[in-house]
């Protein structure tokens, strides 16, 4: 599998696991992390490292309040 296909596949999988985040955001994160490891002397484990770091970062972002993520906050209904 070529690296670009691997990146797209991983980004798609992670976007499904974190549906509250825009797919483009997940894709950019995965691409940035792969780029950080592009000069690593051993490339075998790069996908494992990227997935681990991406999941950690996405979990942190996914727990932010909606307004901090640039999304509208969910509507809160007041009791009648």
Average pLDDT of 53-75?
A: 69
Residue with tokens 């009648």: 80
The 10s digit of each residue's pLDDT in 43-59 is 999 999 999 999 999 99
In eight-state DSSP terms, residue 80 is -
SS (H, E, C) 47-68: HHHHHHHHHHHHHHHHCCCHHH
Q: Which CATH class is domain 3-67?
A: mainly alpha
Give residue 63's pLDDT.
72
**Cα–Cα distance, 53 to 1 (Å, whole number):** 21
Kindly indicate the confidence band of residue 62, based on its pLDDT and cuts at 50, 70 and 90: confident
Q: For 4-46, write each residue's pLDDT tens digit.
A: 999 999 999 999 999 989 999 999 999 999 999 999 999 999 9
Give the max Cα distance, the chain: 63
């Amino acid at each position: 599998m070529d690296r670009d296909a691997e990146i797209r596949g991983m980004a798609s999988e992670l976007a499904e696991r974190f549906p509250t985040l825009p797919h483009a955001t997940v894709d950019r994160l995965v691409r940035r992390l792969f780029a950080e490891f592009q000069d690593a002397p051993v490339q075998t484990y790069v996908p494992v490292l990227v997935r681990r770091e991406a999941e950690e970062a996405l979990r942190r972002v996914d727990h932010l309040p909606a307004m901090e993520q640039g999304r509208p906050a969910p509507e809160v209904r007041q009791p009648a």
